[in-house]
């Protein structure tokens, strides 16, 4: 999606360069090559509707725990490393929130099906709507990150892009009041190699997609449902990319969940083995910005801007 904003950020960061060397060392020391993906405790399949008031709920058929050490990549559109879904299994992911009305509508639809998803919120949106982000967490969903301001990182310098990533992480940390999962999705799925390496050092898993709904191009919920169901039919399974930011998607979700259930798809919920640690220097910047409010470029005193005329 495109986000137009006239907000000028109060603090410009150039900390990433200074941090990255030390970071790479400390993280690299503990990083193990490769990654492991563990299924939830096996045994009897988790009954999708256990404890769910809705007898026709999609539920959650399986929960997987992802060890993000070394920065594994998921989503066959770009990263073809880890094919963990079985035939008929679906992971739902939602980008660009949290956003009023639409995100709560997505959460309500998921809750009515006792289903869980993964959200990739934008840092700025998280700071603007922390209560909605907290609702996402309260719903038991997994929360990753989608940068501070959703810029195309391939058009930024590496240091600027690292700032975008780390500010996003600290913004979500602040809005949530807790650490997030080390799950990341690049805006527009543009993933420069230097940043793939950086996230690998940070121990952050990167998620592209198996099935891009292109819901941001659609105005009608029926279009979103038709596209997702058609692509699932073609691929047979997959990590689905949608946007809780989008109205058509929010409206589509109740019926989409019904159709997923009716067509025999099984929902898989992804969790992280360990939370992501935000960087203290960026946390401090976020806290400072929050304390003083978002700054504009104007430095004129209030007396010069506003005066009594009557």
Residues that bind Zn ion (CB under 5 A): 95-96
DSSP state of 172: H
Nearer to Zn ion, 95 or 163 (CB): 95
Q: Which residues contact 294 (CB under 8 A, 6 or more apart)?
A: 7, 8, 9, 10
DSSP tally for the chain: helices H, then strands E: 10, 11
The nearest distance, CB 25 to Zn ion, in angstroms, is 32
Catalytic residue among 67, 95, 210, 283: 95
CB 186 within 8 A of CB 194: no
With 0-12 CB in 10 A as exposed, 13-18 as middle and 19+ as buried, what is 154?
middle
Q: Which residues pair with 91 in a beta bridge?
A: 239
Active site residue 243: yes
Beta strands 37-39 and 62-66, pairing class: antiparallel
The nearest distance, CB 241 to Zn ion, in angstroms, is 9
Q: Please tell me the distance from the alpha carbon of residue 17 to that of residue 162, in angstroms, as a whole number.
A: 8
Active site residue 269: no
Q: Which residues pair with 143 in a beta bridge?
A: 119
The nearest distance, CB 293 to Zn ion, in angstroms, is 26
The nearest distance, CB 106 to Zn ion, in angstroms, is 15
Nearer to Zn ion, 95 or 164 (CB): 95
**Which residue in the block uniquely carries the two structure tokens 């780390």?**
166
The nearest distance, CB 53 to Zn ion, in angstroms, is 33
Quick check: helix, strand or coil at residue 304?
helix
Per-residue burial over 155-171, b = 16 or more CB atoms within 10 Å of its CB, e = otherwise? ebebbbbbbbbbbbbbb
| Preceding peptide of 98 cis, ω within 30° | yes
Nearer to Zn ion, 95 or 289 (CB): 95
Nearer to Zn ion, 95 or 166 (CB): 95
Nearer to Zn ion, 62 or 167 (CB): 167
The nearest distance, CB 122 to Zn ion, in angstroms, is 7
Q: Please tell me the distance from the alpha carbon of residue 20 to that of residue 112, in angstroms, as a whole number.
A: 43
Quick check: helix, strand or coil at residue 95?
strand
Catalytic residue among 243, 244, 269, 289: 243
Nearer to Zn ion, 119 or 265 (CB): 119
Query: Hey, which residues are catalytic here?
Result: 95, 243
């Amino acid at each position: 999606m495109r986000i137009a904003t006239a907000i000028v950020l109060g603090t410009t960061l150039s900390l990433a360069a200074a941090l990255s060397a030390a970071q790479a060392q400390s993280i690299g020391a503990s990083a193990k090559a490769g990654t492991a993906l563990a299924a939830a405790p096996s045994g009897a399949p988790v009954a999708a509707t256990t404890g769910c008031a809705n007898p026709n709920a999609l539920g959650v058929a399986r929960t997987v725990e992802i060890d993000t050490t070394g920065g594994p990549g998921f989503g066959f559109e770009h990263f073809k490393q880890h094919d963990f879904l079985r035939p008929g299994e679906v992971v739902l992911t939602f980008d660009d929130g949290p956003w009023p009305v639409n995100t709560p509508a997505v959460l309500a639809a998921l809750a009515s099906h006792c289903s869980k998803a993964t959200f990739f919120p934008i840092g700025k949106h998280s700071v603007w709507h922390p209560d909605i982000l907290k609702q996402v967490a309260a719903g038991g969903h997994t929360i990753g990150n989608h940068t501070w301001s959703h810029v195309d990182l391939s058009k930024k310098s590496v240091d600027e892009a690292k700032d975008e990533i780390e500010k996003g992480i600290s913004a979500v940390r602040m809005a949530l009041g807790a650490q997030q999962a080390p799950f990341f999705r690049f805006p527009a799925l543009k993933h420069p190699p230097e940043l793939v390496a950086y996230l690998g050092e940070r121990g952050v898993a990167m998620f592209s997609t198996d099935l891009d709904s292109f819901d941001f191009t659609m105005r009608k919920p029926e279009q979103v449902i038709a596209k997702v169901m058609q692509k699932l039919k073609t691929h047979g399974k997959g990590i689905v990319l949608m946007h809780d930011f989008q109205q058509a998607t929010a409206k589509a979700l109740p019926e989409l969940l019904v159709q997923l259930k009716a067509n025999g798809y099984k929902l898989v919920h992804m969790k992280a083995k360990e939370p992501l640690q935000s960087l203290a220097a960026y946390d401090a910047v976020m806290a400072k910005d929050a304390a003083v409010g978002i700054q504009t470029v104007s430095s004129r005193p209030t007396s010069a801007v506003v005066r009594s005329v009557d």
